[in-house]
Structure 1
Amino acid sequence: MAERTAFLKRPMLAGALVALVSELIFLVRLGVPNKLVFDEVHYVPAARAMRDLSGPTNIEHPLLAKELIALSMAWFGDVPFGWRFASTVAGAATVAGVFALVQLLTGRVRASLIGAALAFMSFTVFVQARIAMLDTFLAAFLLWGIVVLAWSARAPTRGHVHARWCAGAALLGLATACKWTAGPYVAFAAVAYLRLRHGHPERWRGLNPVVAIALLGIVSVGTYLLTFAPAFFYTSDPMIWSRLIPFQLEMYARQTQVLPPHTYQSNWYTWPLMQRPIWYLYEPVDGVQRGIWMIGNPAIMWGGLVAVATLFWAWVKTNSAQLLAPALLWVASLLIWALIPKSLGFYYYYFPSGIFLVVALAVALDHWRTSLRGWDELYLLVCFALLVYFLPVLCAEPLTDAGAFRRWTWFSSWV
C-alpha cells in the first residue's frame, strides 16, 4: 500500500510508464496487415518521396507528418513496420498527453491514470497509432501544445513562463505542419490566455498580453514554415523562398476542391453519435479475412457526451475553469468543421474531438468521485469489455468469413 501511495505521488514517473506500456502494446503485430491500408496509399508514397527528396507529392497537406513517416521508413525499412512505427510513438505520446492534461486540470494521478486508460480504450487512438496517417501526428502535437501552454501558466519565474509559452506555441506550429486543421487552435490559445489572465492575473507571471500574442503567432508560424526545409533540397522542382508563401495558396486550393462522393463520407454533426464509422480495411489479406474499423468505443464516445454536459452544468455551479476547459475544447474542436470549407467529411476527422471527450470524462469522473463511490471502476470495466469485444476488427485479427462483420455492426449505417 505504501508503494502504491508513493507511485501515485510521482506523476512524471506514472506518465512515463503510461507512455511506455502504450508503445509496447501498439507495436504488437504492427506489420499486420502487410499491405497499404486506407489513406496509407497516399501518405506512404508521399513519405517515400520525402525520404528520397525526389520531389513534391501529396502537396495538399504540409510536410511534417510525412517527414516523420519517412524517418521511420529510413530506420526500419520500406515495410509495414517501417511505415507505421512513427505512428505508434505519436499514439503513445497522445495517451501520455491525456495523462498530463488531466493531471494539470485535477492535480490527481488517479484521475490522470483513468484518463490515460480511457484514451487507450477509446479504440480511435489504438487504430490511429497503428496506421501511417497524418491525423495521428496532428493529435499528438496538438495535445502536447495545449498541455505545455497550460503548464506555462504555473511557471515559477518569468523566464520559465516565456520558455514554456514558446514551446507550446512551437508544438501548435508542428501540429499545423501535420494538417492545417490544427491551425485554429492557435487562435483558441490566444483567446483562452486573454480570458484566463484577465480573471487570474497571477497566471503567466511576467508575460505581457501583447508579447504573449506576438510570441504565439511568430513562434507557431515560424515553426510551421521551418518544416518545409527539406523541400528546398528536392531533386525535382525544389522549393525556393519566393514560392514558399504562394505554395500555401496552392495547398489551400487543393484542400477546398470539390471531391466526388465517397462511400464513407459523413457530416460533422453526425460524428458524436458515430453514425458512419469507417472500415479502413475489410478484405482477405494473406488468405484470411481481416478488418480494421475506425470506430469509437461506444461507452466512451457516447458517455463522453454526458460528461461534457455535466461539466458545463458543474461550471455554472462552481465557475471553475478547470471544469469548463475540456468541455469547451470538445465543442470548439467539433465546430471547426462547421466552418472549414471541405466538400467531404469523414469520421476520422473527429479523432482530436474524441481525445477531448476522454479528457472531459476523466475530469467529470474525478469531480463526482465521492458520489460515484466505485461506479467509475465499473464503468472502466465496461469500457475494457468493449475493447476486448471489438479488438478483432481494430487490429486486423483473422475473421471467420466475409460476413463476420455482422457481429460488430449494431446499426445498418455501421456496415
Structure 2
Amino acid sequence: MAPLCPAGGGVTRGRTVGPAARLDPEPPLAHKPHVSETIRKPWLVALLLAVAAEAIFLVRLSVPHMPVFDEVHYLPAARAMLALSGPANVEHPPLGKELIAIGIALFGDTPFAWRFMSTLAGSATVAGVFALAHLLTGRMRAGLVAAACALLGFTVYVQARIAMLDTFMVAFLTWAIVVLGWSMRRRGRSAWIAGAVLLGLATACKWAAAPYVAFAAAAFVHLKREDARRWSDLRIVPALALLGGVSVLTYFATFLPAFFYAQDAVTLKSLLPLQWDMYLRQRQVLPHHTYQSPWWTWPLLLRPIWYLYEPADGAQRGILLIGNPVVMYGGLAAVAALYHGWVKTGAARLLAPALLFTLAVAQFAVIPKSLGFYYYFYPASVFLCVAIAVAFDRWRARPWDEAFLLAAFALTLYFLPVLSGQALTDAGAFRRWTWFPGWV
C-alpha cells in the first residue's frame, strides 16, 4: 500500500507539478525531515495505533454490568435485530444497532459484548485521525500528535466504551474523509467509490452524517475547478453521481435484515415511506431533559453529560462525557489559527480541518431537532484533534506540541476515574471533577 501522502509531488508559486499534487497552493516549507517522517508505511503506524487504542478501550469494558445512558434504547433494538423479531428504535437507521447485535452474537448477551464493537469503532477513529493529519501534512509527527489528542481528548475513550450509534458513525465518517481526500491523489475510481460507501455507512448509523455527503460534493467541485488535474480521471457530473448514488445505495442496503422481520417486515414498497416516518420522529418535540444543551455551548464545555452516576457493581461510580479541557480549548485556538493561516496563504490543508470542525457544529444550528446534547459534539471533538496537529505542524511548534500533550495527559489521569467508571469514595465524590455548575 502506498503512503497516505505520497512523495514526489509539490507546488511552486501555486503551479502544481509532479504526479501527486499537494492539497494546497503554498510551496512546501524547507526543513530537514525528522527520521520518523521518512517512514514509508504510515498504514502500518495507523494499524499499530488502532491496536494500542483497542487494548486501552478493552480494559474493564464490562464495568458497569448494567446498561448505561442510551444503551437502554439501543440494546433492546440490537436484540430485536439479532432475533429478527421486529422493528425497534425506528427513529434511527439500522447499521449501528446491527453492529451492536454482531457483538452480542459473538460473545453472548453480556456487557462486554454490548460494547465490544464500539471499541473497534473507537480504535478505527484513532487510526483515522492519524491518517487524516498525515494526509494533510505528509508528516508522521503530525499524525501521531493528532492520534494522541484523540486518545487523550476523553470523548473517543468514553464513546468507545458504550453501545451508542454516534461511535460507529464517527468511525465511518472519519475514514470516508480520509479515503476521499486520498483519492484526489490517485487515479482510478475505486477510492472515490470506497469513500462514498463509507459515507453511506456513516449515514446508516445516524442521519447526522448525511450533510457530509453534500460537504464532500461541494469540496470536490471547488477543488476540481481550482485544478482539473485533481481526480484526473473523474469529471464533475459523473463523480457527483457516483458519490450520491453509491452512498444512497449503501445506506439502503443496510436495511436488508429488516426485510426478514417476523413482524412488520420492511418491503420495497414501504422502504421510502419508512424514511419519512423516521424524519417525522426526528422532528417530534420531546420533553425537557436534564442534560439538554444548545449547540453553541458544546465547544465551550458548558454542559457535559453524566452517562452514569449511581451505585453500580457494589460501589458509587460515574461516567462523564466531557472533552479534555486542554484538547478542546486548545483545539479552538488551533481552529482560529488555521483560519488566520488560510486567509494569509490560501492553503487548503489549513482550511480543511478548521472547516470540518465548523461544519460539524454549525449543522446543528439548522437541523430541526427539539433537543440537543453534548454527545452531538463528538464528531467536532474528533476534528479538533486534526486541527491541533495541523496547526502545530504549520508553525513548527516543537517542543510545544510535546508540552501540550503532557498537559492533556495530566488531565486524563485526573479525570480517568469518572471516564472509566471506577469506584468512587462516596456519593459526593463528583465535586472533585465538577469545576463549574453546568458540569454537575
TM class by smaller structure: over 0.9
Q: Which residue number in structure 1 is paired with residue 28 of structure 2? A: none
In 1, the alpha carbon distance for the partners of 2:144 and 2:280 equals 43
Q: State the SS of the aligned residue for 2:87.
A: coil
CA distance in 2, matches of 1:80, 1:348: 21
Q: How does 1:10-159 map to 2 (within 5 A)?
A: 10-155=41-186, 157=187
Per the alignment, residue 392 of structure 1 pairs with 417
C-alpha separation between the residues in 2 aligned to 1:391 and 1:59? 34
Read off the aligned partner of 1:277 and give its amino acid letter. P
CA deviations over 1:92-136 (Å, ceiling 9, x no partner): 000000001001100001110110000010100000000000000
Name the structure 1 match of 2:326. 299
Residue among 178, 192, 202 paired with 1:175: 202
1:329-388 CA-partner distances (Å, limit 9, x unpaired): 11111111001000000000000010111110110011111xx33121111100000000
Structure 1 segments unaligned to the other structure (5+ residues)? none
1:236 aligns with 2:297: no
Distance 1:119 1:218 in 2: 32
1:181-211, CA deviations, whole angstroms, 9 ceiling, x for partnerless residues?
Answer: 1000000000000001111211101101000
Deviations 1:134-165 (A, max 9, x none): 0000000011111111011000x3xx2x1111
| Correspondence for 1:205 | 232
Residue aligning to 2:429: 404
Q: Contact between 2:173 and 2:199, CA under 8 Å: does it hold in 1?
A: yes
Matched with 2:291 is 264
How far off its partner does 1:8 sit? 3.7
Query: Partners in 2 of 1:21 and 1:344 — Cα distance?
Result: 36
Alignment of 1:2-17 (within 5 A): 5=36, 8-17=39-48
| In structure 2, C-alpha distance between the alignment counterparts of 1:32 and 1:67, rounded to whole Å | 22
Between the aligned partners of 2:58 and 2:303, the Cα distance in structure 1 is 28
2:9 is matched with which residue?
A: none
Which residue matches 1:380?
A: 405
Taking the aligned partners of 1:113 and 1:374, their CA distance within structure 2 comes to 14
Give CA deviations for 1:274-304 in whole Å, capped at 9, x if unaligned.
1000000000112200000000000000110
Normalized against structure 1, the TM-score is what? Answer: 0.97
Q: 2:373 — aligned with what? A: 346
* Matched letter for residue 357 of structure 2: W
Distance 1:288 1:407 in 2: 17
CA distance in 2, matches of 1:186, 1:303: 28
Task: Measure the CA separation in 2 of the matches of 1:228 and 1:354.
Answer: 29
- Give, as a single letter, the amino acid of the residue that structure 2 aligns with 1:25: I
Q: What secondary structure sits across from 2:298 in the alignment?
A: helix
More helix by share: 1
Cα distance, 1:63 vs structure 2: 0.1
| 1:225 equivalent in structure 2 | 252
Counterparts of 2:428 and 2:382, CA distance in 1: 31
In structure 1, the residue corresponding to 2:371 is in which secondary structure? Answer: coil
User: How many angstroms does 1:5 deviate by?
Assistant: 4.1
CA shift for structure 1 position 10: 2.5
Structure 2 CA distance for partners of 1:398 and 1:255, relative to 1, 3 Å: same
Aligned-pair CA distance for 1:251: 0.5
Give the corresponding residue for 2:211.
Answer: 184
Moved over 2 A (4+): 3-10
SS of match in other structure, 2:194: helix
Matched AA of 2:212? Y
Report if the CA contact (8 A) 1:7-1:14 is conserved.
no
Q: Within 2, Cα distance between the matches of 1:167 and 1:29? A: 34
User: Aligned-residue CA RMSD in angstroms?
Assistant: 1.1
Give distance in 2, aligned partners of 1:171 and 1:264: 31
Q: Secondary structure at the match of 1:177?
A: helix
Deviations 1:238-295 (A, max 9, x none): 1111000000001011111000000000000100001000000000112200000000
Preserved contact between residue 36 and residue 141 of structure 2 (Cα < 8 Å): no
Please tell me whether the aligned partners of residues 8 and 14 of structure 1 are also in contact (alpha carbons under 8 angstroms).
no
| One-letter amino acid of the structure 2 residue matched with residue 405 of structure 1 | F
Give distance in 1, aligned partners of 2:388 and 2:37.
Answer: 25
* Cα distance in 1, alignment partners of residues 300 and 232 from structure 2: 41
- Matches of 1:282 and 1:355, distance apart in 2: 25
Conserved? CA contact 1:290–1:396, under 8 Å:
yes
User: Counterpart of 2:275?
Assistant: 248
State the aligned residue count: 407
Partner SS for 1:291: strand
Q: What runs of 5+ residues in structure 2 fail to find an aligned partner?
A: 1-33
Q: Which residue of 1 aligns with 2:14?
A: none
Deviation at 1:4, TM superposition (A): 6.4
Question: Per-residue displacement from partner, 1:26-60 (whole Å, max 9, x unpaired)?
Answer: 01100000000000000011000000000000000
The answer as to whether partners of 2:37 and 2:141 remain within 8 angstroms in 1 is no
* Residue identity in the other structure for 2:360: S
Contact 2:37 2:140 in 1 (8 A): no
Q: Which one-letter code corresponds to 1:293 in the other structure?
A: L
Percent identity of equivalent pairs: 63
Q: Write the letter of the residue equivalent to 2:311.
A: P
Aligned to 2:23: none
Provide the C-alpha distance between the structure 2 equivalents of 1:97 and 1:239, rounded to a whole number of angstroms: 34
